[in-house]
Amino acid sequence: MAAAAEQLEPLVVSPKEACRLLGCGPTKLYELLDAGELDHYLDGRHRKITMNSIKRRVQRLTASGR
């Protein structure tokens, strides 16, 4: 059972992790959040960004050739 748990992909990540995954800095990340390009919510004081929205952004960029 532990091996299966290790293979699960997170549903949400922190802004710091989102920056790492997208290869951008915090300023660009918050521009994307403000523009509505990434889905996010607050869990208490902690912002969470959905992995689905990160994947959609990468797909949009690769589809447009950017």
Q: How does pLDDT run across 20-51, given as a tens digit for each residue?
A: 999 999 999 999 999 999 999 999 999 999 99
Helix (H, G, I), strand (E, B), or coil: what is residue 40? Answer: strand
Predicted structure pTM score: 0.84
40-43/46-50 β-pairing: antiparallel
pLDDT of res. 18:
98
pLDDT of res. 1:
56
pLDDT of res. 51:
98
Residue 6 pLDDT level (bands cut at 50, 70, 90): confident
- Quote the mean pLDDT of the chain: 93
Instruction: For 19-54, give one letter per residue: b (16+ CB within 10 A) or e.
Output: beebeeeeeebbebbeeeebebeeeeeebbbbbebb
Contact 12, 51 (CB under 8 A): yes
User: Where do the domains of the chain lie?
Assistant: 11-60
Token code pair at residue 38: 């990434």
